[in-house]
Structure 1
Amino acid sequence: MNRHSFDKTQEVRIKVLQGMSLIIALVALVVAYVNIIISKVYILGAIEVLLAVFCFYTYYKTCISASKVWHRWAVAYAYFFVVFLAVYILKTDEGITHWICTFPILAYLLFGKKHGFISSFCLLFASVIPLYSFLSLGGANSLHLIVNLGLSYMTIWTVSHIYEAMRYSNQETILNLALRDPLTKAFNRRALQSRFSKQTIIDEPLCIALIDIDFFKKVNDKYGHDAGDAVLTQLTELFVEKFKDDNVFRMGG
């Protein structure tokens, strides 16, 4: 059974990409103005302008429903790269290191639990390298910065991971409630309609068997509804064993 037609995760991620693209673009323009006009850091400012332009482009693509998967990767990792570059150029003087704590949130919202975890770990490791190199310059202050930034990062990372894990678990629960019969755990009428509508588009042979239990009412009347439920459950398990879970649906009441 194809559950993707009922899964709205990708639609949510596109909305997140749309909002994050606009926010990053606006922030990048403000920071670029400060770096070019006030701080005279022209190279960094020019790169931030390019980041803003690309984020505005991605925002436009999401608005017309033409965004691609690579847009998410490009926006996220372009943002990560610019923040790392700013840390290397500005060091810790401008408070640019605070932006590192936004990495886990962005990674989990755009990529999900597995990719978010891997990205957050790699980005944390990559963040420590430039900050550690500043220890010889800043002494104890730089050490305090690394400790506090690391703890803040780990806290936000943990919260982001728990949130995404709970979201995924809740989504699976909702999908099961929507697509499966609560008694037999077989797929229900809604799932069959979705499966059938997709199968008819594909030019392949299709075979459907509709099975009814004769005199089932007598089972309920003689042995009780609990016994009838047990019969339905065991019969469904037999069908699942023979025909696989994706091919078994319950149409009755």
Structure 2
Amino acid sequence: MRFDAFDGTQTLRARVLGGMCIALGVLAALMAVANILWSQSYLFALIEGIFAVLSYFLYVKSKRQTYTLREKNCYLLFLFVLVSYAIYAKPLVMGVYMWAFLLPIVFYLLLGKKQGFIVSLASLTVLMAILFFKKPVDPPFQIIPVIINFSFCYISILGVSHVYESNRDRIEQALHVLALTDALTGAKNRLAFKKDIQAKRRQKKILSILVLDIDHFKQINDTYGHEAGDDVLKKVTRCLAGIAGEDAVYRQGGEEFCVVVAQDLSGAEQLAESIRAGIETTEFVTQGCSIGVTVSLGIAQFALGLSEDDVLRIADERLYTAKLQGRNQVVSSAGPLPSC
């Protein structure tokens, strides 16, 4: 399963970059032709032509999401230089300075809230300096009112961009948590388990999996009701988080949980025994009733050539053995894992 869909920010930035590259590249090419044919601004046309070529190059890479951070930043720098040079070289009466209002939007969309704010503010300072020292001043314009109106418009667009990016980031984070969290217990869900396991295996860490099941959970539901069963699931989750840590606990479904630890089989077995004893000695009180809760656990360690599904299956088999042997116990093996 691919989890790059969870990196919504990266995907969004790649799409924005691609769309911007194709739009600005075409405009730059058209402006270069116009500068050659009508105004004979050959240097400006050359800069625009180079920018159009760079736009096409980055557009192709953005479609594949293979561009580097340096390439993106260089492209944004070139765009800023192009706009700055146009404001410096062209008369104010042509209104070229209005292209600068595009910059904070682009910076926020492609760089994020923090970097977008810093770069946008720095760009405003440079552009205001260019306008202030622009020589000669165009006769119809008084430069101070131009600078005031320019800065107010720029800051307004910067503010809107900042609010938009802040809210987009907050909503994306909330959706990300929602997608990877079990709604009932607040533990991570099966999807989060797959995602985290793949990330940890890329780091080549020693990993073990503890699979545990609440003993006679159906009987708890039948005797005390499903609301009591839900309360038991929540309290078991809190017990697991207190012993193994919140980030290590996953609800696989129903009354089955999984704990992932960066330990070998021996260390995982000691942790599993702590979990078993901790839950057995914990008082579960719901709706005025005291319920005795125990768990059975199976353990497996990752080894070369085994996928997460293989290790999970081995841990499940050992959990099943624990149940057959009377429940409320830990089953592991100090020897080699079965070959698959």
Q: TM-score normalised to the size of structure 2?
A: 0.66
- Structure 1 pair 80/70, CA: closer, same or farther in 2 (3 Å)? same
Deviation at 1:54, TM superposition (A): 1.2
- Structure 1 pair 99/201, CA: closer, same or farther in 2 (3 Å)? closer
Per-residue CA deviation, residues 38-63 of structure 1 (Å, 9 max, x unaligned), is 22322222111111111111122234
Letter in 2 for 1:166: N
Unmatched tracts of structure 2, length 5 or more: 255-340
Q: Which residue in 1 is equivalent to 2:146?
A: 145
Unmatched tracts of structure 1, length 5 or more: none
1:25/1:51 contact within 8 Å kept: yes
**Greater RCO, 1 or 2 (C-alpha within 8 Å, sep 6+):** 1
Q: Which residue in 1 is equivalent to 2:319?
A: none
Q: Compare the two structures and name the one with the higher strand fraction.
A: 2
- Structure 1 pair 214/20, CA: closer, same or farther in 2 (3 Å)? same
- Counterpart Cα distance in 2 of 1:10 and 1:202: 21
2:92/2:138 contact within 8 Å kept: no
Q: Which residue in 1 is equivalent to 2:58?
A: 58
- Structure 1 pair 78/242, CA: closer, same or farther in 2 (3 Å)? farther
- Counterpart Cα distance in 2 of 1:131 and 1:225: 71
Q: Which residue in 1 is equivalent to 2:233?
A: 232
Deviation at 1:94, TM superposition (A): 1.8
Per-residue CA deviation, residues 173-228 of structure 1 (Å, 9 max, x unaligned), is 11111100112221001111223344456644321112233344565566665555
Q: Which residue in 1 is equivalent to 2:11?
A: 11
- Structure 1 pair 227/91, CA: closer, same or farther in 2 (3 Å)? farther
Q: Which residue in 1 is equivalent to 2:300?
A: none
Q: Which residue in 2 is equivalent to 1:72?
A: 72
Per-residue CA deviation, residues 56-78 of structure 1 (Å, 9 max, x unaligned), is 11122234553222222122111
Tell me the number of residue pairs that the alignment of Structure 1 and Structure 2 aligns: 251
1:18/1:59 contact within 8 Å kept: yes
2:107/2:120 contact within 8 Å kept: yes
1:189/1:250 contact within 8 Å kept: yes
- Structure 1 pair 201/109, CA: closer, same or farther in 2 (3 Å)? closer
Q: Which residue in 2 is equivalent to 1:167?
A: 168
Q: Compare the two structures and name the one with the higher helix fraction.
A: 1
Deviation at 1:21, TM superposition (A): 0.9
Per-residue CA deviation, residues 143-164 of structure 1 (Å, 9 max, x unaligned), is 2222222222122112211111
Query: Which aligned pairs between 1:1-253 and structure 2 lie closer than 5 A?
Result: 6-134=6-134, 137=137, 141-200=142-201, 203-216=204-217, 228-253=229-254
Per-residue CA deviation, residues 226-247 of structure 1 (Å, 9 max, x unaligned), is 5554443344234334433321
Q: TM-score normalised to the size of structure 1?
A: 0.86
2:91/2:138 contact within 8 Å kept: no
- Structure 1 pair 100/252, CA: closer, same or farther in 2 (3 Å)? same
State the structure with more CA Rg. 2
- Counterpart Cα distance in 1 of 2:229 and 2:247: 24
| Overall identity of the aligned pairs, in % | 33
Aligned-residue CA RMSD (Å): 2.6
Deviation at 1:121, TM superposition (A): 1.2
2:104/2:158 contact within 8 Å kept: yes
